[in-house]
Structure 1
Amino acid sequence: MHIQVSQDFREKAKAAVSSIVVFIFVYLLIFLFTIVLALACIAAGIWLIAAKPMFVTLMLGAGLAATGLFVFYFIIKFLFKKHINDRSYLTEIKRSDEPELFKMIDEIVQEAETNFPKKVYLSNDVNASVFYDSSFWSMFFPIQKNLTIGAGLINTTTKQELKAILSHEFGHFSQRSMKVGSYVYNVNQIIFNLVNDDASYRNSLEKFASFSSYFTLFASLAIFITSKIQWILAKMYSYVNIRHMALSREMEFHADEVAANIAGSVSLEESLLRLELANNSYNNVLNFYEARISKNQSSKNIYKEQFFVMNFLADQSELETKYDLPYVKLAESGLFNKSKLNIENQWASHPSTEDRVAKLKQLNIVKDRDDQPAKNLFKDFEKTEEKLTAKLFANVQYDRGRTDLEFEIFKAEFENQYQKDSFDKIFNNYYDNKNPDSEVQENILSDSINFDLLFDNEKVELVYTLIALENDKKTIEAIANKEFVLKTFDYDGRKYKSTEAKNLIPEIDQSMTEIKDQIKKNDSNIYNYFLKISENQGRKSNFINIYQSFCDYDKQYEEKYKLYTDLVNGTTFISERTPFEQIKNHFVKLKSLEENLKQEIRFHLQNPLLISELNEKDVKDLNDYIEKEHIYFRNEEYFDFNLQLLIKAINTLPYFLHRKYFLIKKEVLTLMKDLEDHHRVEKVS
């Protein structure tokens, strides 16, 4: 299979190759410099020893010669560096284990005209990847790649979709033109190794310096010289890396085209659009069990639970179903991403899903499809899932023996937890990332205002557009302040130079002001709408009181959270080297803050809803902390147990503050939903 590369690919490849040429030129200059330096140091060392043979000159001569050799070794150490991928979390499978899966891989490598992977592994996550152990020499000698397939991916795709995703991975190695990316990647790794991965080099210098006080000066000199070389190489890393990322973006499109030619455009498109939901579902299950480590609960089959959660979340979002899997449309996947900023992925190697789907739609390659579940490729996928789950939980430390949660119990507890931690979907996600307005006032409401109008998609989009504008502004301010180094970026379909970034900020501010005004007007209408229907139901005072409670806490929240930040800043000395006298003074200053902390913890511990998520030990430790006076430092020694109680109390405070805010907000929204439900019943009757 030969696929013609695009003009963009050619241009990005040329830019990437030119950056390699520039790097090689700069590296050769540094290499020659280090050779000359090493020879000069060795010659000077020999001359010094020969001129006046004695112990001092011997040490100085040896130190001088070693300095030159250390600097030279620094510039060539990447030749001996080999990157070995961690395989401890992977489970190897062989052809005899899963012949149907290997048959699919055979078909892919044959059509892609590439080599069969050296080994095939299963991982826990929702992804597929190809990896290999690389070194400098892998640029010149062919290396067999290994294939990793995530069980969380197999669990949430059809056979055709899995084939498309695996074809994409092999697409990276099937085209001669793609090898440019491999060279750029390896050069990037070399520079990274020289700039950042120098721990063993510095350890060698420290050992050298420890032999004699004479060598300390020369070790410092070697570090000084190599630090200047690192500064030059760091600039080269930035130069090469930006071009590498731009090329990587085109390589993704190219690999997508390979996959579309093998498995069809639609299969890859649909799997890409579902991927985020599948991944979020997997992470939801992980988070569920992370909160239950203290209860010694684990899962027998985390993938069965992932599948349930994926469909549960899809149902909550009212997504369609196709092939017994959620069918995510492009409009639904990007509903909450309203950013107008495009920096051409200079900080990420993958283009957006939206861009990839658009390219796939243009290709529109149709292939025969097998839309059975991908898990049917395995002899007994449920058994495989259980083995991988057991391996995953084997790494978790439990106080006592763990107990696997029954699937039906998981379903009930997850649904219950979801309802506790989310707002009713009647509000159409309007309040998921914003709060009710705490500054609204009572005024006359237009008769044309109704609930559906207040929470329609247009109003929800206003909220997420404002969030996107706020994030865009922060990024553009960073570009204007040169915190991000780049030449150009796109905003709202127009290309800008980095020097023009500051001119965009007033425009964004103007857009933000306009949208804030629209949201504020809608929030006022919401408040007055519920005032009106609560008055009709004889519940106006109840609504006002509950809404006012939220507003009061909203105004107190920043001040209460400031206590947490002050405590964090006030205890940083504990993790730093601090003179004993200063430690005592710090704890004296901390006393008033600690009294406020105890008062807050004591108050929140009285709320059953807040402590319901904490385990018994945490509650006991917090009670011990607030009931006693603790000594943290005496006789030039820290009391670690008491310090742990203090740190636990400090870290629990933001949880209490966040959780209480959520519960008060939910109380307001629950009342609003109840008012609306009664209002609809009244209208019908």
Structure 2
Amino acid sequence: MLIQTSNDFRKKGQAAIFSIILFVIVYILLFISAIALTAACVTGGIMLIAAKPMFFTLMIGLGLASFGLLIFYFLIKFLFKKHINDRSYLTEITQKDEPELFAMISEIVKETETDFPKKVYLSYDVNASVFYDSNFWSMFLPIKKNLTIGIGLVNVCTKQELKAILAHEFGHFSQRSMKVGSYVYNVNQIIFNLVNDDESYRNTIQSWASASGYFAIFAELALKFTRGIQWILAKMYSYVNIRHMALSREMEFHADEVAANIAGSIALEESLLRMDLADNSYNNVLNFYDAKIQENKASKNIYKEQAFVMGFLAKESELEMKHDLPVVKLEEAGIFNKSKLNIENQWASHPSTEDRVARLRKLNIQKESDNVPARSLFKNFEQTEEKLTQKLFSNVQYESERSNLEFDHFKEEFEANYNKDTFDKIFNNYYDNKSPDRFDLETSNPSNENLSFEELFGKDKVEIAYNLIALENDKSTIEAISKKELDIKTFDYDGTKYKASEAKNLIPKLESEIASLKEEVTENDINIYHYFLKLSKDQNSEYEFRTRYSDFANYEKSYEDRFKLYLELNEAFSFVSITTPFDQIKKNFRKHQPLESKLKEEIKQILADPNFETEITEQSRKDLDYYSKNDLIYFNNNEYFNDNLQHLFFAINNYQYYLGRNFFLLKKKLIDQMSGLEKKRVQPEISSL
């Protein structure tokens, strides 16, 4: 199998290789300079001691010699350091364990013309990857790769799709031309480790400095000198990394082409489009059990639950099913991400799913498919799922012995939580990431009183709302670039390349677009309000509707000030986590008493709020009540009272949580009522049919 590399790939590969050569030249120059400096320092130290032998000159001479040697050591230390990947979360398998899976890997390895992995591991998540340990000499010597396959991935794809995904991973290492990419990736990782990993060096310097005050002076000089060298290396790393990122974008496309030639375009496309849903389902299960830690509950098989959640979410989104798996269409995959901002030197190493799918469709390579579940490749997949689930939960600290939640109970609780924390799908996701806009409820007038429910929440209205969200997020990022809060050289916006210095010129354009879209969204929200106001009048529930709308609007108005209190509290008590003089600690606690009094009043309001009657657990209610009613002492006799500090920070963190939770609950009450009004309106029409 021969895959022709593109001109773009070759050009970017050449640029990446050139950047590495330049790095090596700069490093050699630094190395030669370090040798010269070391020789000069050692010679100078010996001459000083020889000229006037005495304790003072001996210490100064040794210190001077050590200064040169420490600089030299800094530049050679990485030659012997090996970067070892963490394997604690991995489970190794062999051909004896899973012969069918290894047979598929052998087939892929043969077709991609690369080497069989040194080891094969299973991981917890929805992913597959190739990794290897490396050191400086890896730039010149071959490296054996290891393969990781996530059980959360196997659980949500067919055999053909898994073959396509694994072929993509090995595609990065196939053919001589593709090896340029893997070489650049490896060198890039090595350089990163050289520039950033200096803990062992600092420990060496500190040990030397502690031997004598004389040595400490030269040790501090060596640190300052090496910081200068690090600055040069960091600049060179940035230069290499930008070119690596540009190349790795092309590498993704080429690896996709390799995968398509082995498993077909459709298998890779459909698995790509499903991955976000599969990953989201897996994370939903993890979040569910995070909330169960206090109850000492765990899962027997988290992957069985992942499959259930994926099916449940697919049904909620009315997705088509194929081979018992959800089919996510391209337009459905990107509906909620309308950003036009592309920061190339941050994340362009992976092209967008849209771009990858477009390339795959252009290739349109057809292959005979084996669409049975990928899990059938394993001898006993359920046993493997349970084994990894057990290993995953063994890392969680429980207060007492944990027990597994029954699968039927998980399903019931998950569905109940989902329905409690989501909005009715009749609104077409309009409210999922936005709230009803602020406007004067009494003086606002609809621009069109004849719009139907379908028009108010149609695809075009939803798109406008998400375009506005994307624009506001893009503007925030571009403002950060203009203020140099993000170290970005260039970025793409709506297909046009900009320098970081041009970011501020783009902001007025975005502000104008935001203002225009806001006007459209607010106009639609006013029309929605009056639509439901009319419905509520027709159904004799006007007072309830107006009350819920104004309750939410008023809370939204006060939310910003309340959240500001949370930020002030965080900042006020941050001194607890840093070394602070005793007298200052006492002054700080006295100074912040008025702020804490405000927090206690807010906590009392939360505890009395009927919205939280079933939201706050019995233990949390007891702890918050204790905090709000007692004047706790946090520091006395030059020591902190940790139990009382835990009460304080528990209250601060819960205050922030319940602020956001109340915002959601008020919004949900309003939207649930709107849903009920609409369903009541539709019911007579259905009955008449």
TM-score range (shorter-chain normalised) is over 0.9
Displacement after TM superposition at 1:476 (Å): 2.5
Question: 1:63 maps to which residue?
Answer: 63
| Counterpart mapping for 1:497-646 below 5 A | 497-607=499-609, 609-610=611-612, 612-646=614-648
Question: 1:351 maps to which residue?
Answer: 351
Q: Take 2:501 and 2:660, find their aligned partners in 1: how far apart are those partners?
A: 40
> Could you give the per-residue CA deviations for residues 137-191 of structure 1, whole angstroms, max 9, x where no partner exists?
1121112111110000000000000000000111111121222223323332333
Q: Take 2:78 and 2:567, find their aligned partners in 1: how far apart are those partners?
A: 43
Displacement after TM superposition at 1:602 (Å): 1.6
Counterpart of 2:438, as a letter, is S
For the residue of structure 2 that corresponds to 1:496, the secondary structure is: strand
Deviates more, 1:334-343 or 1:265-274: 334-343
> Could you give the per-residue CA deviations for residues 472-519 of structure 1, whole angstroms, max 9, x where no partner exists?
222323333444455543322333344433322222111111111100
Displacement after TM superposition at 1:355 (Å): 1.1
Q: Take 1:180 and 1:668, find their aligned partners in 2: how far apart are those partners?
A: 58
- For residue 655 of structure 1, the aligned residue among 650, 654, 657 is 657
Q: Is the 8 A contact 1:477 1:502 kept in 2?
A: yes
Deviates more, 1:80-89 or 1:275-284: 80-89
Question: 1:491 maps to which residue?
Answer: 493
* TM value normalised by structure 2: 0.97
Whether 2:91 is the aligned partner of 1:105: answer no
Counterpart of 1:625, as a letter, is Y
Q: Take 1:611 and 1:220, find their aligned partners in 2: how far apart are those partners?
A: 59
> Could you give the per-residue CA deviations for residues 33-82 of structure 1, whole angstroms, max 9, x where no partner exists?
10100000110011011111122222211111111011011011111110
Counterpart of 1:476, as a letter, is I
Q: Take 2:238 and 2:142, find their aligned partners in 1: how far apart are those partners?
A: 28
Counterpart of 1:419, as a letter, is N
Q: 1:429 to 1:440 in 2, by over 3 A?
A: farther
Q: Take 1:395 and 1:245, find their aligned partners in 2: how far apart are those partners?
A: 34
Counterpart of 2:380, as a letter, is D
Q: Take 2:273 and 2:499, find their aligned partners in 1: how far apart are those partners?
A: 32
Q: Is the 8 A contact 1:13 1:247 kept in 2?
A: yes
Q: Is the 8 A contact 2:154 2:375 kept in 1?
A: yes
Q: 1:675 to 1:611 in 2, by over 3 A?
A: closer
Q: Take 2:208 and 2:255, find their aligned partners in 1: how far apart are those partners?
A: 49
Question: 1:474 maps to which residue?
Answer: 476
RMSD, matched Cα:
1.5
Q: Is the 8 A contact 2:126 2:278 kept in 1?
A: yes
Displacement after TM superposition at 1:29 (Å): 1.2
Q: Take 1:337 and 1:188, find their aligned partners in 2: how far apart are those partners?
A: 30
Question: 1:454 maps to which residue?
Answer: 456
| Counterpart mapping for 1:362-373 below 5 A | 362-373=362-373
For the residue of structure 2 that corresponds to 1:149, the secondary structure is: strand
The percent of aligned pairs where both chains have the same amino acid is 64
Displacement after TM superposition at 1:271 (Å): 0.3
Question: 2:37 maps to which residue?
Answer: 37
Whether 2:408 is the aligned partner of 1:414: answer no
> Could you give the per-residue CA deviations for residues 413-453 of structure 1, whole angstroms, max 9, x where no partner exists?
00000011111111111111111123243435634211111
For the residue of structure 2 that corresponds to 1:656, the secondary structure is: helix
Q: Take 1:443 and 1:644, find their aligned partners in 2: how far apart are those partners?
A: 51
Displacement after TM superposition at 1:343 (Å): 3.2
Question: 1:51 maps to which residue?
Answer: 51
Counterpart of 2:414, as a letter, is F
Q: Take 1:34 and 1:444, find their aligned partners in 2: how far apart are those partners?
A: 75
Displacement after TM superposition at 1:369 (Å): 0.4
Q: Is the 8 A contact 1:611 1:619 kept in 2?
A: no
For the residue of structure 2 that corresponds to 1:300, the secondary structure is: coil
Counterpart of 1:375, as a letter, is R
Question: 2:278 maps to which residue?
Answer: 278
Q: Take 1:299 and 1:608, find their aligned partners in 2: how far apart are those partners?
A: 33
Question: 2:375 maps to which residue?
Answer: 375
Question: 1:214 maps to which residue?
Answer: 214
Counterpart of 1:187, as a letter, is V
Question: 1:404 maps to which residue?
Answer: 404
Question: 2:237 maps to which residue?
Answer: 237
Counterpart of 2:522, as a letter, is K
* TM value normalised by structure 1: 0.98
Q: Is the 8 A contact 1:161 1:271 kept in 2?
A: yes
Q: Take 1:488 and 1:396, find their aligned partners in 2: how far apart are those partners?
A: 42
Q: Take 2:186 and 2:97, find their aligned partners in 1: how far apart are those partners?
A: 34
Q: Take 1:529 and 1:270, find their aligned partners in 2: how far apart are those partners?
A: 40
Question: 1:321 maps to which residue?
Answer: 321
Q: Take 1:479 and 1:650, find their aligned partners in 2: how far apart are those partners?
A: 32
Q: Take 1:540 and 1:35, find their aligned partners in 2: how far apart are those partners?
A: 85
State how many pairs are aligned.
685
- For residue 681 of structure 2, the aligned residue among 675, 679, 682 is 679
Displacement after TM superposition at 1:212 (Å): 1.1
Displacement after TM superposition at 1:595 (Å): 1.1
Runs (4+) of structure 1 exceeding 6 A deviation are none
Counterpart of 2:299, as a letter, is S
Deviates more, 1:179-188 or 1:628-637: 179-188
Q: 1:595 to 1:484 in 2, by over 3 A?
A: closer
Deviates more, 1:381-390 or 1:617-626: 617-626
For the residue of structure 2 that corresponds to 1:294, the secondary structure is: helix
Q: Take 2:132 and 2:613, find their aligned partners in 1: how far apart are those partners?
A: 48
| Counterpart mapping for 1:160-239 below 5 A | 160-239=160-239
Q: Take 2:326 and 2:13, find their aligned partners in 1: how far apart are those partners?
A: 38
Question: 1:141 maps to which residue?
Answer: 141
* 5+ long unaligned stretches in structure 1: none
Whether 2:125 is the aligned partner of 1:125: answer yes
Q: 1:425 to 1:440 in 2, by over 3 A?
A: farther
* 5+ long unaligned stretches in structure 2: none
Question: 1:27 maps to which residue?
Answer: 27
Displacement after TM superposition at 1:263 (Å): 0.6
Q: Take 2:611 and 2:515, find their aligned partners in 1: how far apart are those partners?
A: 38
> Could you give the per-residue CA deviations for residues 307-353 of structure 1, whole angstroms, max 9, x where no partner exists?
00001111111111111000001100000111122333543421111
> Could you give the per-residue CA deviations for residues 625-656 of structure 1, whole angstroms, max 9, x where no partner exists?
11221111112211111111101101110111
Q: 1:10 to 1:287 in 2, by over 3 A?
A: same
Q: Take 1:196 and 1:261, find their aligned partners in 2: how far apart are those partners?
A: 39
Q: Is the 8 A contact 1:82 1:135 kept in 2?
A: yes
For the residue of structure 1 that corresponds to 2:261, the secondary structure is: helix
Whether 2:255 is the aligned partner of 1:259: answer no
Displacement after TM superposition at 1:683 (Å): 4.2
For the residue of structure 2 that corresponds to 1:318, the secondary structure is: coil
For the residue of structure 2 that corresponds to 1:446, the secondary structure is: coil
Q: Is the 8 A contact 1:242 1:347 kept in 2?
A: no
Q: Is the 8 A contact 1:445 1:528 kept in 2?
A: no
For the residue of structure 1 that corresponds to 2:591, the secondary structure is: helix
Q: Is the 8 A contact 1:74 1:194 kept in 2?
A: no
Counterpart of 1:364, as a letter, is N
> Could you give the per-residue CA deviations for residues 447-471 of structure 1, whole angstroms, max 9, x where no partner exists?
4211111001111111110111112
